[in-house]
Amino acid sequence: MLLGCWQRYHIYAFARWLNFKPMRDYIVLYINGKECRVAGADAFLPLSSYLRYVQSATGTKVVCEEGDCGACTVLSGAVSGDEIAYRPINACIQNVYQLDLRHVITIEGLKVDGELNCVQKSMVQNQGAQCGFCTPGIVVAMCSLFDKKCESKTPATEEEIRDALTGNLCRCTGYEPIIRAGLETNTEEAIALRALYPSRQIIESIGKHKGDAPLVQYEERIFFGPQSISEAVEFKAKHAGTTIIQGGTDVCVQMNKRGFDPKVIMSLNNVSGLNELNVEDGILRVGGRATLAQLEEKVTQLIPEFADILWVFGSPQIKNAGTLAGNIVNASPIADTIPFLYVMDAEFELTGSKGVRKVKADSFYKGYKKLDLQSDEIVTQVNIPLPKKSSTLKLYKVSKRKNLDISTFTAAVVMERENDQIRSARIAYGGVAEVVLRLPKTEEFLAGKKFTEETFVAAGKIARGEIRPISDVRGEADFRLILAETILEKFFHECNEEQAAWAR
C-alpha cells in the first residue's frame, strides 16, 4: 500500500516534471476494428492471454510462449503515413502495452462478409489443416502474404509461401498441403486488409490518442510510452532500472519462462523517427527501433551475405518485432548480428542525458551481458560501414535446424586479398565464449600469407586456441572447437567454389 502511494506520487511528480504533458493511464489498441482501452493488470498481459482470456477470442492459440511456433500469430498494424501497414507478430511475446496505438487483426477478423477468405478457402480445399491447432497462426501468416498480393494479383511462389511460414510449426501435415494451399490460393479474390478495415477511420481514431503518452501503472509496475528520444532519456535517467521492451522477442520470453519481472518498462514504439535506415558515405545507418525485417529488406541488395544471415535468423514474426538495437543490447554471445558488426567495425550511437556518444561494436561488450552503456543511455543508431568491393565477406550460423534456431556457433570473416596473397582478415566468432570474440592471433597469422588451403588449416588451429567454448544444450564444447577450427577451411573452399550448394 505504502509502495502504491509512493508510486502514484512518483508518477504525478514525473508528469509535472514533463510540464504537465497530457498522459493516458491506459493503452489504446484496436482489435479487429474495435477500440479497446486497457488499463491496470490487463495492460501488462501478453497479447495472447489478453485475447484469449479477457476478450474470449480463443482462435489465437498458445503453444510455446516463446515465439518459436507461431500458433499465436496475429497481425499488428502500425500507422504509416495515411495507411496502416500490417505485419505478422507472435502474440505470446508481445505485451499489451507494446501495442499502444496499433490495430491488431486476429484469426477471428479475417473472414470477408462472414465468408471464408481466399486463403481460408484454399486451406480447406487442399487439406491444409489436420489437427487445426497451428492452423489459425498459419492462416494469419499466409493472409499477410496475400495482403501484399492484393494489387498485383500475382500468385504466390513456393519460396514466398515458405518464407511467410518460417515461423509457423505444424506437426501434422509435413507442410506440403499447406504450401499447396498457398500455391492454389485464388489471388483474384485477395482482399486488402485496408479494404477489410478501412484505414482512415482507425487512423482518425488513433489520432485522438496520439498526443497523449501512455503511463500505465499496476501494483508495483509502471509502463511508459514516450513520444520522443528526449522524453525517453529523461525517463530512463530518472529510473535507473528501466527495461526497454522494444520488440520484446527476448525479454518477453524471459518474462514468460524465467520469472523475469521488470518493474519499470518503457517502449519506444511511439517515438517518432528512430526507425529509418539510410546509406550515407558508404555507411548504413540503422535507427534504434528499426526492425530486423526492415534491415533485411534494406540489405538484400546492399549486403547479400548479411541478408542471408537475417533470412535464417528468425521468423517473419520475430523479425517484424525484433530490432537490430535489441539484438545488440540483449548481448547474447550467440546473437546472430554481432560477429558481422564486429568485423565491419560498426559503431553504436548511444544517446543519454549528456548527449550522443559513439562506441565501436567490438569494445561495447565487457563481459557476459555486461555493456559499455550508461543507465540513461539508449542505442539510437547503428552505423555499419558497407563492405568494400575488393573484400570478401562471409558469415556463418551453425544451428541444429537451418531456419529459426538459436546458433550453436557463429562466425564472420572479412578478408582483403590480392591474387593469392592475403592482405588482411578480420574474424569474429560467436558461441565460443561469454561474449562474441575477435580473433587477433588468427588475423595476425593470416595477414600476408598465401591464399592456400594449408594457410587456412593452420589458421584454424590458431583460432581453436583463441576460444573457450562450453558444452550446453546446443552442442558440446568439442563440437564448437571443431567448428571454430574448420570453418576457416570452409571459408577457403567457398571462396574457390562457385557452387551455391544451399538453394533456398
Partner 1 sequence: MGSVGKDIAHDSAVGHVSGESIYIDDMAFAKNELIVDFYASPVANGKIVSIDLTRASNVPGIVGLYTHKDIEGHNKFGPIIADEYLLAEEKVEFIGQPIVVIAGETRKAVLAARKVIDVKIDVLEPTLTIDQSIARKQYLAEPRFIKRGDVDAGFAEADHILEGRFISGGQDHFYLEGQAAIVYPGEYDNLVVHSSTQHPSEVQEVIAHVLGLQQNQVVCITKRMGGGFGGKECQATHPACMASLVAHKTKRPARIVYNKDDDMSFTGGRHPFQNDYKVGFTKDGVITALKTDLYTNGGAANDLSTAVLGRAMTHADNAYFIANAHINGYACKTNLPPNTAFRGFGGPQGVVNIENIMEEIALFLGKDPFDVRSANCYGIEERNTTPYGQIVYNNLLPALLKKVAETSDYKNRLEAVKKFNQTSKTHLKGISITPVKFGISFTTKFLNQANAMVLIYKDGTVLVSTGATEMGQGANTKIRQLVADEFAIDPNMVIMAPTATDKNNNTSATAASAATDLNGSAAVDACVKIRQRLAECAANYLSSDGAGISPSPSHIVFADGNVFDKRRPDKKLTFAEIVSAAYHERINLGERGFYATPGIDFNWKTGVGQPFLYYTQGAACSEVLIDRFTGELKVVRADLWMDIGKSINPGIDRGQITGAYIQGMGWVTTEELRRSEDGVLLSHSPTTYKIPNVQDMPRVFNVDLFDNDKNDVNIKGSKAVGEPPFLLAISVWTAVKQAIASVSKEAAQKLKLPATNEEIIMCMATSKKSALASAKQTKA
The secondary structure of 369-417, three-state, reads CEECCCCCCEEEEEEEECCCCCEEEEEEEECCCCCCCCCCEEEEEEEEE
Nearer to partner 1, 92 or 303 (CB): 92
Phi then psi dihedrals of residue 147, to 5 deg:
-60, -40
Please give the sequence-ordered ranges of beta strands (E in DSSP) within 168-322, or none if there are none: 213-218, 221-224, 243-244, 264-266, 277-280, 283-287
Task: Name the CA radius of gyration of the chain, rounded.
Answer: 24
Per-residue contact track with partner 1, 262 to 281, x per CB under 8 A? --------------------
Report the site for partner 1 in 178-197 (rule: CB under 8 A): 178-179
Please, what is the minimum distance in Å from the beta carbon of residue 344 to partner 1? 22
Please, what is the minimum distance in Å from the beta carbon of residue 229 to partner 1? 33
- Is 294 a residue that touches partner 1 (CB under 8 A)? no
Nearer to partner 1, 167 or 288 (CB): 167
- Is 502 a residue that touches partner 1 (CB under 8 A)? yes
Phi then psi dihedrals of residue 360, to 5 deg:
-75, 145
- Is 221 a residue that touches partner 1 (CB under 8 A)? no
Which residue is listed with cell 498526443? 211
Please, what is the minimum distance in Å from the beta carbon of residue 146 to partner 1? 13
Helix (H/G/I), strand (E/B), else coil: 31? strand
- Of these, 33, 177, 262, 465, which contacts partner 1 (CB under 8 A)? 177
- Is 400 a residue that touches partner 1 (CB under 8 A)? yes
- Of these, 38, 99, 134, 395, which contacts partner 1 (CB under 8 A)? 134
Rounded to 10 degrees, what is the CA torsion of 43, 53, 78, 201?
A: -100
Report the site for partner 1 in 93-122 (rule: CB under 8 A): 106-108, 110-111, 116, 119-120
Contact 373, 329 (CB under 8 A): yes
| Residues shown for the chain | 504
- Of these, 4, 8, 16, 176, which contacts partner 1 (CB under 8 A)? 176
- Is 473 a residue that touches partner 1 (CB under 8 A)? yes
Helix (H/G/I), strand (E/B), else coil: 308? helix
Quick one: which segment of 340-348, 365-373, 461-469, 477-485 binds partner 1 (CB under 8 A)?
477-485
Nearer to partner 1, 44 or 364 (CB): 44
CA–CA dist 136, 131 (Å, integer): 11
Helix (H/G/I), strand (E/B), else coil: 162? helix
Please give the sequence-ordered ranges of beta strands (E in DSSP) within 145-237, or none if there are none: 213-218, 221-224
Distances (CA, A) of 289 to 68, 293, 379: 22, 11, 9
Please, what is the minimum distance in Å from the beta carbon of residue 2 to partner 1? 19
- Is 218 a residue that touches partner 1 (CB under 8 A)? no
Per-residue contact track with partner 1, 357 to 396, x per CB under 8 A? ---------------------------------------x
- Of these, 17, 112, 125, 450, which contacts partner 1 (CB under 8 A)? 125
Contact 406, 475 (CB under 8 A): no
- Is 452 a residue that touches partner 1 (CB under 8 A)? no
Total residues binding partner 1 (CB under 8 A): 86
Nearer to partner 1, 125 or 421 (CB): 125
- Is 337 a residue that touches partner 1 (CB under 8 A)? no
Q: Amino acid identity, residue 169?
A: L
- Is 133 a residue that touches partner 1 (CB under 8 A)? yes
Nearer to partner 1, 28 or 57 (CB): 57
Please, what is the minimum distance in Å from the beta carbon of residue 343 to partner 1? 19
Please, what is the minimum distance in Å from the beta carbon of residue 210 to partner 1? 31
DSSP state letter for 291: B
For residue 278, the cross-strand partners are 285
Nearer to partner 1, 2 or 473 (CB): 473
Helix (H/G/I), strand (E/B), else coil: 79? strand
- Of these, 31, 93, 268, 404, which contacts partner 1 (CB under 8 A)? 404
- Of these, 64, 85, 183, 433, which contacts partner 1 (CB under 8 A)? 64
- Is 219 a residue that touches partner 1 (CB under 8 A)? no
What does the block give as the cell for 186? 485464388
Contact 340, 426 (CB under 8 A): no
- Of these, 18, 172, 386, 458, which contacts partner 1 (CB under 8 A)? 172
Burial class of residue 246 in the structure, from the number of CB atoms within 10 Å of its CB (0-12 exposed, 13-18 middle, 19+ buried)? buried
Nearer to partner 1, 117 or 381 (CB): 117
Per-residue contact track with partner 1, 226 to 255, x per CB under 8 A? ---------------------------x--
CA–CA dist 8, 222 (Å, integer): 10
Nearest CA-CA partner of 145 in 108, 178, 119: 119
- Is 132 a residue that touches partner 1 (CB under 8 A)? yes
Quick one: which segment of 32-40, 163-171, 186-194, 364-372 binds partner 1 (CB under 8 A)?
163-171
What count of Cα atoms within 13 Å lies in the side-chain half-sphere of residue 179?
Answer: 12
> Phi-psi region for residue 38, left (φ > 0), alpha (ψ -120 to 50) or beta?
beta
- Is 501 a residue that touches partner 1 (CB under 8 A)? yes
